[in-house]
């Protein structure tokens, strides 16, 4: 997160776009695991809220190019896509 914070908003958008593009054209199976930070308490700090928002955008964009998306709660996978 510190690396991305140093890149700034435009750098973050570029890095997110590059990852989404690479995943969209990848011919091999890829498994990604990400944290879901948007269902908890609203972070008290501005940087915590920026992190939460950035993770939400990244997760949504990555899910958009994936063939399958699962959400796991208490070890129980729920297929979203």
The 10s digit of each residue's pLDDT in 14-56 is 889 999 999 999 999 999 999 888 888 899 998 889 889 989 9
Long-range contacts: 19-24, Cβ < 8 Å, 24+?
Answer: 19/58, 19/62, 20/61, 20/62, 20/64, 20/65, 23/62, 23/65, 23/66, 24/65
Q: Which residue has the tokens 């796991």?
A: 72
pLDDT in tens, 34-43: 988 888 889 9
Using an 8 Å Cβ cutoff, are 69 and 79 in contact?
yes
């Amino acid at each position: 997160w510190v690396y991305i914070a140093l890149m700034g908003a435009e750098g973050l958008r570029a890095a997110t776009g590059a990852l989404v593009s690479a995943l969209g054209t990848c011919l091999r199976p890829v498994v990604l695991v990400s944290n879901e930070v948007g269902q908890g308490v609203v972070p008290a700090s501005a940087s915590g809220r920026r992190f939460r928002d950035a993770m939400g955008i990244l997760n949504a964009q990555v899910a958009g190019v994936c063939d399958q998306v699962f959400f796991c709660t208490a070890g129980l996978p729920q297929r979203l896509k």
